[in-house]
Amino acid sequence: MAFLSNPIGKKMLMALTGVILFLFLVAHLLGNTTVLGGPGWINAYAEHIHSAMFAPLLWAARVVLLACLGLHIALGTLLFLENTKAAPTKGTFVTYKEAGLSSRTMFYTGLLILAYLIYHLLHFTLHSVHTSLSVSAFPPDAEGRPDLFRSIALSFQRPGIAGTYLLAMAIVCLHTFHGVFSSLQTLGLPGKASLPVLKRAGQVLATLLAAGFALVPVAVLTGWINL
């Protein structure tokens, strides 16, 4: 365990789990785009990934992601506490030159994302909040599949729910805006010439990802997607 007792070792595992979680978000976003294709697409997609053929894969992915999430949170908290101890006060007049809002709020945005994640899972996976809007509350669609499309559209027609999701995406953007590049830097990827390019690319990627997720509630709110 010498690797994990070293400050760089801890950061590396943190970065690696972060990258895996980000790749999951990319896959999740690709799945979400089926909403834009209408009820036929998203319902077929949802039925497909929940089918017996994909069940082992789905559960394997869930176990890996949960392990990554647990490690990411545990190491993040440990590093946050150690770093706070190393820097009890930074003086009376602190001016930041390179550190932006994103890098300075990583721990807090991380906590907010965890809170959102729990809410999101209760909403669309475990169906224990907004039960009147959950898939099981609606009759199957014309093809006899669970009508996820109706659940999504009716959920986001409520400004409160849509607003919560949009706010959460802003926080995810803030977290990954620093997180994507920071992971690559910790894993030792950048060279002299590629460092500024990777930094910018990470920021662009984070913004695009959050914007992509925000597209679904926005599309419902503006009436682009309706029943």
Contact between 164 and 172 under an 8 Å Cβ cutoff? The reply is no
Position among 31, 37, 70, 188 found at the interface with other proteins (CB under 8 A): 188
Rank residues 85 and 223 by Cβ distance to other proteins and give the closer one.
Answer: 85
Question: In the stretch 93-122, what mask flags binding to other proteins with x, by CB under 8 A?
Answer: xxxxxxx---xx-x----------------
Instruction: Please name the residues in contact with 68: beta carbons below 8 A apart, sequence gap of 6 or more.
Output: 17, 20, 21
- The rounded distance, in Å, linking the Cα atoms of 49 and 47 is 6
16 vs 219, beta carbon nearer other proteins = 16
**To 10 degrees, the CA torsion angle through 211, 212, 217, 223?**
100
Cα within 13 Å of Cα(190), Cβ side:
18
The Cα–Cα gap between 226 and 39 comes to 10
Interacting span for other proteins (CB under 8 A) from 35-43, 66-74, 86-94, 124-132: 86-94
User: By CB under 8 A, is residue 52 in contact with other proteins?
Assistant: no
Give yes or no for residue 1 binding other proteins (CB under 8 A).
Answer: no
Point out which residues bind other proteins (CB under 8 A): 2-3, 5-12, 79, 82-83, 85-99, 103-104, 106, 178, 181-182, 185-192, 195
